[in-house]
Amino acid sequence: MKKRERTQQQIRAAAMQLASQIGIDAVDVHAICTEAGVSKRTFFNHFTFKDEVFAVPPPAYPKASVERFLSGSGPLLEELVTLLQDQTQEIGEDGETAAVMHYAMRNNPRIAALQINAMHGMERELASLIADRLGRAPDDHASIVVAAAATAATRIAVDIWIDDRSTDLRDQVARSVLHLRLLNAVPEVATT
């Protein structure tokens, strides 16, 4: 990990710790800098404004999981579940940060917008992976729709898990994404 990434992580961890102790609304840049042991200049070299520190990008898709997904020959939906479970594992390991981030997103429109933008990037990446696996063009409409549905289902799984962390996040992801099977039971509607 590069020094820039380590410093950004250090600042973000300090902000999350403060937010969990005193509430996100009470946290200011000065307190974050003091907790992280950095100057305000360093803070603003990494973040444009305070709220940005709470918009944590979703975890990356693990390389080994991506390789398994791309080379897989089993049912697409089941292997997609495994990829998404592997991706969300990092969230499950740090429930407190996830809860703070979730609260911030629900209560702060700027943080919500940043988080939605980050999720959209992950959704585009997932669409590209699905298209690759299916041997289709990167802008394949079906791959984009499947990625959007799977990303939404994963977000719902994380929401449920954050509200009740006695449940297992991997199980929540599987349950939510596999609900997409219900689409087969919905009668088709004729379009004109």
Check whether residue 13 and residue 106 sit in a common domain: no
Domain that residue 141 falls in:
63-185
Q: Which region holds residue 47: left if phi is over 0, alpha if psi is between -120 and 50, else beta?
A: beta
C-alpha distance from residue 70 to each of 67, 81, 154 (Å): 5, 13, 19
CA-based nearest residue to 148, from 180, 175, 174, 173? 180
The pLDDT of residue 143 is 95
- 57 domain residue, yes or no: no
Check whether residue 140 and residue 176 sit in a common domain: yes
Total structural domains within the chain:
2
The pLDDT of residue 153 is 96
* Both tokens assigned to 186: 């919905």
- What 3-state class would DSSP assign to 161? helix
Residues 6+ apart with CB under 8 A from 149: 180, 183
The pLDDT of residue 28 is 95
Q: What is the mean pLDDT of the chain?
A: 90
User: Rounded distance, CA 73 to CA 57, Å?
Assistant: 30
pLDDT digit string (tens) for 151-174? 999 999 999 999 898 889 999 999
The pLDDT of residue 188 is 58
pLDDT digit string (tens) for 118-154? 899 999 999 999 999 999 999 999 999 999 999 999 9
The yes-or-no verdict on residue 191 having pLDDT over 80 is no
Check whether residue 70 and residue 155 sit in a common domain: yes
Check whether residue 44 and residue 74 sit in a common domain: no
Check whether residue 105 and residue 23 sit in a common domain: no
Percent of the chain predicted with pLDDT > 90: 61
Higher-confidence residue: 30 or 189?
Answer: 30
- 56 domain residue, yes or no: no
Check whether residue 131 and residue 165 sit in a common domain: yes
CA 164 to chain CA centroid, nearest Å: 18
The pLDDT of residue 23 is 82
The pLDDT of residue 78 is 95
Average pLDDT over residues 67-88: 96
The pLDDT of residue 189 is 53
Percent of the chain predicted with pLDDT > 70: 96
Longest dimension (CA), the chain: 63
